[in-house]
Structure 1
Amino acid sequence: MRPGSRRLAAWALLVAAAVWLVPANLLPIMTFESIGRAQSGTIADGVVRLVHSGMPVLALVVFTASLLIPILKILVLAVVYWRTPAHPSPRTAIRAYRLVYWIGRWSMLDVFVVALLAGLMRFGKLATASPEPGITAFALAVVLTMLSAHVFSTSQLWEPDHGNGANP
């Protein structure tokens, strides 16, 4: 794959990830049903419930891993892909890229937790948990971000005309 087409593919995957992140945060990710009472919620709803349940540390972990990091990953990759010759330096951009690439392997943890809960909470009529469309959108956003980082070639960061994408 030519460097210009790699850059374009990385951008396309990153934009798609950003688009899927919107429904991932607006749609419910899971429905809990206990003794006939169903309760659905988004990621943000889960954070609020954890705080109200007296688990602020766990709420902070969920907020960071599920809301903050996916957004920061997209922003960091956008800065790396859009890098101009002046800022950030290629070394700084590569460090940021490697950090995002490394974090990518942990990004599916939320999806695995929902799948695990949905599989374990099968107690007939007493309690169940089922995944909702938000978790699918979240998984797509995570996978697309990982693919974007994988497609991008860091050698492009050393090209003098890299930056605004005007010369792919």
Structure 2
Amino acid sequence: MIKLRLLSTALLFNNRNELLMMKRAANRTLSPGKWGAIGGHMEPYEIASPKHTCLREIEEETGIQAANIEELQLRYVLIRLYHTEIRQQFFYTGFTNAEPTIETEEGDLFWVPKQEVLSSNRDLPHVFRSLLTHYFDHEDSAHPWIGVAGKTAETDEPCIRWNPLIDPGII
């Protein structure tokens, strides 16, 4: 039986040139030891507000409060199949000058310069690397993007197909 899981994630930038990233603890079930963003699963009462989830997860994982975050906006919606779950993940970008104030069992937090985020020696999950690559190529985009993860027909390699999320009535 396939289930639906909703997630919300933050790409927080400091001084607009560093990304707050988490090096996940080696004992984590999902992506152990890999680099990721701040975020997590939506609670049932948050279904109508992934932004609320994003802000809650930021505070839980970093101690940074909503009042210290500027321009938090939806930039991506990603849909993918993960084992027996359809995962729909909302990605927000925002800016803060606040420093993380708590430690978490999830992993360790680091401000990573933008030019080093996609370094080949940084172990990123494929989905996250693909999203960041697309974001850095389109960070001035005026609209959000929707992505569907799958595999290429030609090579059977993982890929994400990105499309602008635009009301078809305004095309």
- Quick check: TM above 0.5? no
TM-score, structure 1 normalization: 0.25
Larger relative CO (CA 8 A, sep 6+): 1 or 2? 1
More helix by share: 1
More strand by share: 2
**Larger-gyration structure (1/2):** 1
